[in-house]
Structure 1
């Protein structure tokens, strides 16, 4: 069973709807045992890095997620869910993240023609191939965020140009992240979710 991790992070209903649209049965859960026995995990998220980490800790999910990943269960973080895959975040205060991917989550530098938050459709540039990147070169997806994952190039699969080269998709081993919202990005986004489901052996 694919588990969408429940920690009051905002976009869970849309993620479940997208999974249903591609014919995948998934469950919203904050049960550590279900997380540990899942075929794959999706960590959605809308909001602030410190709040997200505090809620994951409060629900006892940090340990469960780390154990699941160590056991080889694929994990996909979406938007804020991707940001907390890093070692730390600088939103409001420095906060320790899940630490799956080396790096820090920083604020996007704003400019007159590139206001923050970065909101809307942006084209993708594939930097290196991963299990989720096929067919993404030049495709447009939907972003809503004010922070970006400052991670080494080795872990950046896809970028988008918005005052800086924004990491749009990152991954390390069985951990994947999408900064944009695949669940709001039409057929292209649904295709990414489908590829992740295939990765989970479903």
Structure 2
């Protein structure tokens, strides 16, 4: 009898690791992913994070502090290893911001994870933080916003990336950048760049639209049957999970 390929309805649920680096919004992210149909593990364990179908990097609070938390649990190496193998990563809020080269807060510049060129800076608006529901301007070919292009999403932040500086390289697909505007200041609301996807807003707090966005991301994950082996001498560590919301990002 010839086997037939799995359809999305018959595939096993996607297995997702939420990187536990001390971010305060992890529990709501875990619950939202579970509600969207994923099997979710909250951990900083390297082998688990590398073996998962998808890795989620949440973040609230200050840019520099979040980068340090990620470094403390070896999250930078986990993210780099996954992306070098084309394995999906989703950043949320400050989890988007730290993917850029640097962030400047209160006049001090901190180094980011450097997956994208550019800087995260304070919003140039009369009312800061940008807090509440807002529409986004997504590209027509977006997978992340399929079916929810005209919906509103929940933002809580004072800083953002306000320019996209990555140029298309050779035949590689150009990143899909989604924009939003607050009080006349235009900023990056989401990026779809190969295996690396990120949102400035909080999908876990964005009601039905956020749930659909997470479902879109989960549906895009390839199912992985074989665990990846960790490199010798580069073990992970367990992070402490946070339970309270941090300061506005």
TM category (shorter chain) comes to over 0.9
- Structure 1 position 179 matched with structure 2 position 194: no
Structure 1 residue 150 displacement after superposition:
3.0
Per the normalisation by structure 1, the TM-score is 0.92
Give the SS at the match of 2:23. Answer: coil
1:160 to 152, 155, 180: 180
Counting strand residues as a fraction of each chain, which structure ranks higher? 1
Structure 1 residue 183 displacement after superposition:
0.5
Structure 1 residue 128 displacement after superposition:
4.8
2:85 to 40, 61, 71: 71
Segments of 5+ residues of structure 2 without an aligned counterpart are: 1-14, 166-173, 224-249
2:221 — aligned with what?
A: 200
Counting helix residues as a fraction of each chain, which structure ranks higher? 1
Rg larger for:
2
Backbone CA RMSD of aligned residues: 1.6
2:155 — aligned with what?
A: 143
Higher RCO (CA-CA < 8 Å; seq separation 6+): 2
Per the normalisation by structure 2, the TM-score is 0.75
1:122 — aligned with what?
A: 134
- Once the two structures are superposed, residues 91-124 of structure 1 have per-residue CA deviations (whole angstroms, 9 ceiling, x without a partner) of 242111111122111110131xxx1110000112
Using the alignment, how far apart are the partners of 1:119 and 1:41 within structure 2? 26
- Once the two structures are superposed, residues 24-54 of structure 1 have per-residue CA deviations (whole angstroms, 9 ceiling, x without a partner) of 1110011111111111111111111100111
